[in-house]
Amino acid sequence: MQEIIPIEHIENKIVTVRNQKVMLDRDLAELYEVETKVLKRAVRRNIDRFPNHFMFEITKDEYDSLRSHFGTLKRGEHSKYLPFAFTVYGVTMLPSVLNSEKAKQINIRIVETFINYVMQRSTYDELRKAIYSLDLKLKRDIEYISTLLFHEVDRLEQMIKPKKQIEPKKQIGFKKED
C-alpha cells in the first residue's frame, strides 16, 4: 500500500486527554480532507455509533490545557465549539459515517499509526519505569556498599595505625638539681 500520509504527521496529532490517546476532530477532518463541521455533523447524526469510549467532547479546561501545553490549539483559528476527542475505536468508526472512499483509505493508515504509536509509547513507558526502578535499586546498593567500605577502611586504619609510644610522664613538682 502506498504511503498516503507520513506516519509522523499522524503521530503529531495524537494527544493525551483523560489519560487516553486521542485525536481531535479538527485534525481528523484535516486528514480526511473534510471540514470539521461536516465531520461533527456526521458524528452527531450517528451519535449512537460513538459511545463514550469511542468519542467524547473535551471540556474547556482540557481545551485550555491542550492549547497551553502543546500549542496544538491556537486562539481564534478554530471553532468556537469544544472539540470532539476520538479514541482509536472512534477513529475506526468515522469512515462509516463519512461515507467517502478517501476516508476509508486514509482511515487504514490512521488506525495502523494510532495502534503502533500507542504500543510504542506503552513499551517506552514500561522501559522508563523499569530503568527508574533499577536506578533506585542501584543507588541504594551503592550507598550500602559505600557505608560498608567506609567502616571497613576505618577499622583497618585503626588496626594498621602504629600504637603511640607512651612517653614517660613528667613529674609534677620540684626537681632536684644536681
What are the pLDDT digits (tens) for 16-74? Answer: 899 888 999 999 988 888 889 999 999 999 999 899 999 999 999 888 888 766 555 55
- 132: part of which helix (H) or strand (E)? helix 101-160
86 - beta bridge partners?
A: 23, 55
The distance of Cα 26 from the centroid of its chain, to the nearest Å, equals 23
Q: How confident is the model at residue 172 (pLDDT cuts 50, 70, 90)?
A: confident
Query: Given a cut of 50, is residue 167 above it in pLDDT?
Result: yes
> Within 10 A of 45 (CB to CB), how many other CB atoms are there?
10
Query: Given a cut of 50, is residue 1 above it in pLDDT?
Result: no
Q: Tens digit of pLDDT for each residue in 102-145? A: 777 777 777 777 777 777 776 667 777 777 777 788 788 788 88
Report yes or no: 85 and 22 within 8 Å, Cβ to Cβ: yes
Compute the distance between CA of residue 28 and CA of residue 9 in angstroms, rounded to an integer.
11
Burial status of residue 102 (CB atoms within 10 A of its CB: 0-12, 13-18, 19 or more)? middle
Give residue 76's pLDDT. 47
Report yes or no: 54 and 90 within 8 Å, Cβ to Cβ: yes
Mean pLDDT of all residues in 147-168? 76
Residue 13: closest CA among 82, 89, 91, 77:
91
Compute the distance between CA of residue 21 and CA of residue 28 in angstroms, rounded to an integer.
14
> Within 10 A of 149 (CB to CB), how many other CB atoms are there?
10
